[in-house]
Amino acid sequence: MEKVLKKHFILVHGFCLGAWCWYKLITLLEKSGHKVTALDLSACGINMKQLKEIGSISDYVQPLMDFMVSLPNDEKVILVGHSYGGLCISLAMEAFPQKISAAIFISAYMPNHIDPPAFLIQEYFRRTSMESLMDCQFTFDKGMENKPTSSIFGSHFMQANLYTHCQAEDLELAKILIRPGKFFTEDMSKEGLLTQEKYGSVRRVYVVCQDDLVMEEEFQIYNIQKSPPDQVKLIAKSGHMVMISQAQKLSLCLQEIASNNDH
């Protein structure tokens, strides 16, 4: 049997979530002999900061950037970003392209280096009706006439759209651990955040999640068309929270991507 080459996966969660959402996947990847680091971004999970202390996207992704700095120069990791986490790993790809062997976007925002990353957030809201967001709560720090600045998922929305294909206890766990998130649309509207030389030099793979009612498949395809990756994978019947609903399939998918990276 072919020996598994040990990889180091860095898992970056999405909006309102934390490192906790990867608990099933971490177990499976480690059992297969890989090293896994799941990070809490600022004011997420068990990170001690509060949302009001997070003034910019730089503050938000600081834990990821600090971790990347701490890596030895000769170690290459695989970045994995879910949903909003796709924007976060993009900034790390721009800052540390030499430390990343591949970046995997799971039903995520995957920007290109031409349009500002916020373009995707704006496109998402353009395609999404306020009615479909059900009991999600929004705050408008810049006034109701402007775009919302932060939000927290509502429990009905989580049940109907987010945790489809998941066990009831996973939904309950999520309701207890959820924290509000910021959009950072203004920060992500700046020109030149991502470049072809740095961000564009990292191998990218997009994992499409089927039956996703949050990042709908059409929108995932839109991301792929606007910023073509090196490879596209699909996980069937997963819904948005694929790391919980289809942890085994996702684990195998990530390992396959990692081993293809060696050839």
**pLDDT tens-digit readout, 250-262:** 999 999 999 987 6
* Residue 129 is a catalytic residue: no
In a domain, 2, yes or no: no
In terms of Cα–Cα distance, which of 92, 91, 134 is closest to 116?
Answer: 91
- Across residues 14-39, what is the average pLDDT? 98
- At 86, the amino acid letter reads G
- What mean pLDDT is predicted for residues 48-69? 97
Average pLDDT, the chain: 96
Residue 3 lies in a domain: no
Q: Is residue 228 a part of any domain in this protein? A: yes
pLDDT at site 231: 98
Query: 77 forms bridges with which residues in the sheet?
Result: 100
Query: CA 8 to CA 25: how far, in whole Å?
Result: 13
pLDDT at 200: 98
Count of structural domains within the chain? 1
Instruction: Supply the pLDDT for residue 184.
Output: 96
Task: Determine which one of 40, 107, 240, 245 is catalytic.
Answer: 240
pLDDT at 144: 86
Closest CA to 164 of 250, 81, 247, 245: 245
Give SS3 for 21.
Answer: helix
Q: How far is 29 from 44, CA to CA, in rounded Å?
A: 23
What is the Cα–Cα distance from 214 to 46, expressed in whole angstroms?
24
What is the predicted pLDDT for the residue at 260? 86
Confirm whether 172 is domain-assigned: yes
If we measure between CA atoms, which residue out of 15, 49, 19 comes closest to residue 37? 19
SS3 category, 193: coil
Please tell me which residue in 83, 107, 238, 245 is annotated as part of the active site: 83
Residue 161, in any domain of the structure: yes
CB 241 within 8 A of CB 133: no
Q: Is the pLDDT of residue 9 over 50?
A: yes
The predicted pLDDT at position 198 comes to 98
Amino acid 1: pLDDT: 37
Residue 30 lies in a domain: yes
CB-facing half-sphere around the CA of 39: CA atoms within 13 A: 22
For the beta sheet containing 150-152, the strands, ordered from the edge strand earlier in sequence to the opposite edge, are 137-139, 150-152, 181-182
- 113 flagged as catalytic: no
Mean pLDDT of the region 188-194: 96
pTM over 0.95: yes
Instruction: Check residue 11 and report its DSSP letter.
Output: E
Classify residue 1: in a domain, yes or no: no
Bridge partners of 233, per DSSP, are 207
Residue 145 located in a structural domain: yes
CATH number at residue 150: 3.40.50.1820
Active site residue 83: yes
Alpha helices in 71-185 (DSSP H): 85-95, 118-127, 155-157, 168-177
Spatial separation of the C-alpha atoms in residues 224 and 66, rounded to whole Å: 29
Q: Is residue 226 pLDDT above 80, yes or no?
A: yes
Whether residue 163 contacts residue 172, with contact meaning beta carbons closer than 8 Å, is answered with no
Q: Which domain holds residue 143?
A: 8-260
- Residue labelled with tokens 């191998």: 203
Digit-coded pLDDT (tens) for 111-166: 999 999 999 999 999 999 889 999 999 999 988 888 889 999 999 999 999 999 99
177-211 burial: b if 16+ Cβ within 10 Å, else e? ebbbbbbbbebbeeeebbeeeebbebbbbbbbbbb
- Which is the catalytic residue, given 187, 212, 238, 245? 212
DSSP letter (8 states) at residue 155: H
Rounded to the nearest 10°, the torsion over CA 165, 168, 169, 174 is 70
pLDDT over threshold 70, residue 2? no
